[in-house]
Chains A and B, each alone.
Chain A
Amino acid sequence: MSEPKQPLLEVNGLKKYFPIKSGLFGRTTGNVKAVDDISFTIRQGETFGLVGESGSGKSTVGRTILRLTDKTDGKVKFKGVDLYDLPPQELRRLRPKMQLIFQDPYSSLNPRVRIGDAIGEALLDHGLAPREEIRDRVMEVLNACGLSSYHIDRFPHEFSGGQRQRVGIARALVLNPDLIIADEPVSALDVSIQAQIINLFRKMQDTQGLTYLFISHDLSVVEHLCSHIGVMYLGSMMETASRDELFRNPLHPYTRALLSAVPIPIPKLKRERIVLSGELPNPADPPSGCKFHTRCPFAVARCREEVPLFRNVGNDHSVACHLV
């Protein structure tokens, strides 16, 4: 192993609450704690997979890191600088270094703008390349993403789902970023196309030394792509560890249930499945103590009363559970 790499992104105690307003005067009557005291670090060149079910707050983490929505509390450091301390102009200067890729690139592309212009636009806006070089740069990145030069003058509707995701990736990569936050980038794609895009993500990391925050609900994709994994439930981090450690030795009952629920394409495979009872609780009114206790098959009295501490149990493996 080489010496430990520098942290690129450090998230510390991040909170994002959405107020619930009601009544005639819109008084705040409570909060949805979408992100509730989350901490993790991503080192240079790593891929951190953030896993959780709908309503776990994983997408809000991504958006809050990029200051697309304001935080409630906590720190987000990018290369040692707290993004929330930066004045608007300086933040804008840093923006090309942190790019976001969405699940549905179609809704983030203007249907009347040619693909080449959509990709080149950011280069021009940020003054990263002179106008006459832009077409070449776009061509280069399109080719790297597995698209052809003739795609450059096409419109978004002429592309298939997989190709649009390639465009989304190209648009992020053309700015030569350090960090890419990808929010469910392969979830809308068919299996055969999904594999192509996953391989593209890997290739880009190898050739450009990218760091990824990969947000997904699909554990098999996350295992494939990520070096470190965090598991979220109702706004809280339940467990973080390196991929190998997490898959070999999942400690939190929620992680174990999640792993055992993923259908595996091997018929007749006998597996012990932890079937969770019940539904995801209302995030506006989360359970007391450990948020998972209402569905946890191992819950004891203490879990209902006391919030478990998120603590390191060795091997860089952290977990929030009383029973571990």
Chain B
Amino acid sequence: MDTVLDIEHLSTHFNTEEGVVRAVDDVSLRVRQGEIVCIVGESGSGKSITAMSVMGLVEAPAGQVVGGSIAFRGEDLLKLGRNELRTVRGNEIAMIFQEPMTSLNPVLRIGEQLMEPLMEHRKMSKKAARKRAIELIGEVGISRAEQIADSYPHELSGGMLQRIMIAIAISCDPKLLIADEPTTALDVTIQAQILDMLRRFKEESGMSILLITHDLGVVAEMADYVVVMYAGKVVEEGEVVALFENPQHPYTQGLLKSKPIINQRQDELYSIPGQVPNPLELVPSCYFHDRCAHCMDICRTTEPALKETANRQKVACWLYEEANPHV
């Protein structure tokens, strides 16, 4: 399979009054054609900033990509000029966000917002764009397409707006769709519809999806490949079945154990003690060490590298390090 997106050693930092926050810290990941890769992590893990960095949405001077490369079909996006990036963005790479209401323009009709990328990237005439816009509204499962095209965002529900966002995203047949928590703000029955739809579009068009979520249930349902992030770092990655059946990093293990599962009730839930470290106070170490039940001396002083283990999984943990004298 061809690699569509190849992120190598990406670091994105934010300058705050109190110091530098390394929101994304030496992250590498790869999305192949037709594949759904999920980045899973809790708040502050850097999963959204990774996606924003790909789209060139991290605004200087507050934040900055300070290192690494983001190759999209072989071309480094970080080296593109403003205009060149514009032709890629919204065209070959599209993105949808958690809050569809805040990504749509409240004073433009739905139809006009759908026509915009078609006219900009596909050079369609106004008439052709409108025709295609109405088709697209139908394709995302909304009836009365003409009427919806003439309404404003505030007249539609959250689920409908997210469908419209997806329609805009797929309008130019992107090779890669980045979806940042696309169903988090939606009810479960609507979430099920949206996830089904994303999967269907992927099957039909062969596009790749980089899906960012905190919900392990969504990951299990959607992902081919999973990347687990913690405090700006990738701590584990692997194919979805292997990773869920045999999680190796203590954080991944804890995360999977602490999620209540329907029809598998336990008297007490496992919970990871403590909380995410303050990003300003990180020193070279495994960032999970103070919450980890297997913490050793080396974990407090030296950062573990991400290394491949037997079953094609990669994990950054001293427990699996052969050079580690403690094992």
Contact = CB atoms under 8 A, between A and B. Distances in A.
B258 A217 contact: no
Contacts of B192: 260-261, 263, 273, 275-276
B189 A192 contact: no
Nearest to A54: B187
A202 interface: yes
B168 to A, nearest CB: 19
A1 interface: no
Given A195-B258, A198-B269, A247-B262, A190 B42 contact: yes
A190 B214 contact: yes
Interface in A103-149: none
B292 interface: no
Contacts of B275: 160, 162-163, 193
Interface string B227-257: 0000000000000110010000000001110
Contacts, number: 123
Contacts of B263: 223, 247
A263 B220 contact: yes
Interface string B18-43: 00000000000000000000000011
Contact of A265 (B157, B195, B220, B272): B220
A279 B159 contact: yes
B151 interface: no
| Residue of B196, B240, B258, B263 most packed against chain A (CB within 10 A) | B258
A196 interface: yes
Nearest to A282: B157
Interface bracket on A: 35 or more
Contact of B262 (A202, A223, A277): A223
A50 B228 CA distance: 33
A88 B273 CA distance: 44
A152 interface: no
A224 B189 contact: no
A279 B162 CA distance: 12
A61 interface: no
Given A195-B258, A199-B271, A220-B262, A258 B189 contact: yes
Given A191-B42, A217-B188, A224 B269 contact: yes
Contact of A267 (B241, B261, B270): B241
A264 B188 contact: no
B244 A267 contact: yes
Contacts of A217: 187-188
Nearest to B271: A195
A24 interface: no
Given A190-B42, A261-B192, A53 B272 contact: no
Contact of B189 (A163, A190, A220, A261): A261
B220 A279 contact: no
Given A199-B269, A280-B157, A275 B262 contact: no
A262 B264 CA distance: 13
State the main secondary structure of chain A at its contact with B: helix
B198 interface: no
B191 interface: yes
A39 interface: no
Nearest to B43: A190
A264 B261 contact: yes
Contacts of A279: 157, 159-160, 190
Contacts of A258: 188-189
Contacts of B276: 160, 190
| Residue of B43, B187, B255 most packed against chain A (CB within 10 A) | B187
Contacts of B221: 263-264, 267
Interface in B268-297: 268-273, 275-276
Contacts of B270: 195
A304 to B, nearest CB: 19
Interface string B166-203: 00000000000000000000011111110110000000
6 contacts: A160-B275, A199-B269, A224-B266, A263-B215, A263-B220, A264-B262
Given A195-B270, A267-B223, 14 more contacts: A163-B275, A190-B276, A193-B42, A193-B271, A195-B260, A196-B271, A199-B268, A264-B220, A265-B217, A268-B241, A273-B192, A279-B157, A279-B159, A280-B187
Interface of A: 53-54, 160-163, 190-196, 198-199, 202, 217, 219-221, 223-224, 247, 257-269, 273, 275-277, 279-280
